[in-house]
Structure 1
Amino acid sequence: MSAAPSYRSTVSALAFGQIVCWAALYYAFSSFVLPMQRALGWSKPELMGAFSAGLAVWGASSYAVGAAIDRGRGRAVMTLGAALAGLGFLLWSRVDSLAQLYATWALLGAAMAMTLYEPAFNVLTKRFPDRYVRGITALTLVGGFASTLSFPAAAGLMALCGWRGALAVVGGVLLLVVAPLHAWALCGTPLPHAAAAAPDARADSTLREALREPSFWLLTASFTCYSFAAAALWAHLMPAFAAKGHSEAQALSVVVWFGPAQVAGRLLHFIFARAIRPHALGLVVLGGLPLSLAIFALADHGLALLVFALLFGFANGLVTIVRGSLVPDYFGREHVGRIGGAMSGIALLARAAAPLATAWLLLALPGYREMLLALSGVGAAALIAFALARRPARTGELRAGGRVSADRSRASSGSA
Structure 2
Amino acid sequence: MLSTVSYGTLYYAQPLLAIAAEHALGWSRVQTSLAFTLALLVTAFVAPAVGRALDARGGRTLLTGGALLGALALLTLALASSYPLFVTGWLLAGGAMSLTFYESVFTVVGQQTQGAARTRATLTITLIAGLASTIFVPLTSALLEGGGLRQALVILAALLLGVAGLTWRVLPDYGMGTPGGKRPPFTPDARLIRLTLAFTLARLVTVGTGLQLAPLLLAAGYAPALAASLTGLAGLAALPGRALFVPLLSRLGAPPLTVFLFAQLALSTLLLHFTGSHATVVTGIIAFGLASGALTLARAELLAQHYLPQAFGAANGWMARPVNLAQALTPLGVGLLFTWTGGYSLSLLLMTALGCAAALTLLGAARGGFHTTAVETRGGD
TM-score by length of 1: 0.83
Aligned counterparts, 1:374-385, within 5 A: 374-385=350-361
Partner AA of 2:229 in structure 1:
S
Aligned-partner Cα distance in 1 for 2:371–2:111: 21
Please report how far the alpha carbon of residue 270 of structure 1 lies from its aligned counterpart in structure 2 after TM superposition. Answer: 4.3
C-alpha contact 1:81 1:114 (8 A) present in aligned 2: yes
Map 1:13-412 onto structure 2 (within 5 A).
16-130=1-115, 131-175=117-161, 177-187=162-172, 190=175, 194=176, 208-209=186-187, 211=188, 213-270=189-246, 273-390=249-366, 391=369
**Alpha-carbon shift at residue 189 of structure 1 (Å):** 6.0
State the alpha-carbon separation in 2 of the partners of residues 271 and 378 from structure 1.
Answer: 27
Write the distance in 2 (CA, Å) between the matches of 1:142 and 1:393: 29
The one-letter code of the counterpart of 1:144 is: G
Q: Give ranges in structure 1 of 5+ residues lacking alignment.
A: 1-15, 199-204, 398-416
Q: 2:150, 2:211 → 1: CA distance?
A: 25
Distance in 2 of aligned mates of 1:52 and 1:42: 15
Measured at CA, do residues 96 and 334 of structure 1 come closer, stay the same or move farther in structure 2, by a change above 3 Å? same
Q: Which amino acid aligns with 1:24?
A: T
Q: Partner of 2:57: helix, strand, or coil?
A: coil
Q: Which moved more, 1:37-46 or 1:146-155?
A: 37-46
Q: Structure 1 vs Structure 2: percent identity of aligned residues? A: 28
**Which structure: larger Rg?**
1
Distance across 2 between alignment mates of 1:57 and 1:242: 33
Q: CA deviation at 1:394?
A: 6.7
1:168: how far off? 0.8
Amino acid in structure 2 at the alignment position of 1:307: T
> In the superposition, relative to structure 1, how do residues 208 and 369 fare at CA in structure 2: closer, same or farther (>3 Å)?
same
Shift of 1:271: 5.1
Query: Which residue matches 2:378?
Result: none
The CA deviation at 1:188 is 5.1
Give the number of equivalent residue pairs: 368
5+ unaligned residues in a row in structure 2: which ranges? 376-381
Counterpart contact for 1:283–1:383, Cα < 8 Å = yes
Question: Secondary structure of the residue that 2:273 maps to in structure 1?
Answer: helix
Change (3 A) 1:185 1:273: farther
Distance 1:72 1:361 in 2: 43
Distance in 2 of aligned mates of 1:291 and 1:151? 30
Instruction: Please give the alpha-carbon distance, in whole angstroms, between the structure 1 residues aligned to 2:294 and 2:147.
Output: 37
Q: What is the CA distance between 1:364 and its match in structure 2? A: 3.2
8 Å CA contact 2:73–2:90 kept in 1: the answer is: yes
1:170 maps to a residue whose letter is L
The one-letter amino acid of 1:367's match is G
| Partner Cα separation in structure 2 for residue 270 and residue 149 of structure 1 | 25
Q: Write out per-residue CA displacement over residues 347-396 of structure 1, whole angstroms, 9 at most, x where no aligned residue.
A: 10111011112222223335211111111111211111112112367765
Q: Which residue of 2 aligns with 1:402?
A: none
Please say if residues 35 and 90 of structure 2, whose CA atoms lie closer than 8 Å, have aligned partners that are also in contact: yes
**Counterparts of 2:44 and 2:374 in 1: how far apart (Å)?**
30
Q: Decide whether aligned partners of structure 1 residues 396 and 71 sit closer, same or farther in structure 2, where only a CA change above 3 A counts.
A: closer
- Aligned mates of 1:113, 1:335 — CA distance in 2: 17
Contact 2:248 2:257 in 1 (8 A): no
SS in 2 for 1:335: helix
Report deviation, 1:116. 0.4
Kindly provide the CA deviation profile for residues 147-184 of structure 1, in whole angstroms up to 9, marking residues without a partner as x. 11121111111122112211110001101x11011111
Residue 236 of structure 2 aligns to a residue whose secondary structure is helix
Q: Is the 8 A contact 1:82 1:115 kept in 2?
A: yes
Looking at structure 1, the residues matched to 370 and 249 of structure 2 have their Cα atoms a distance apart, in angstroms, of: 22
RMSD of the TM alignment (CA)? 2.1
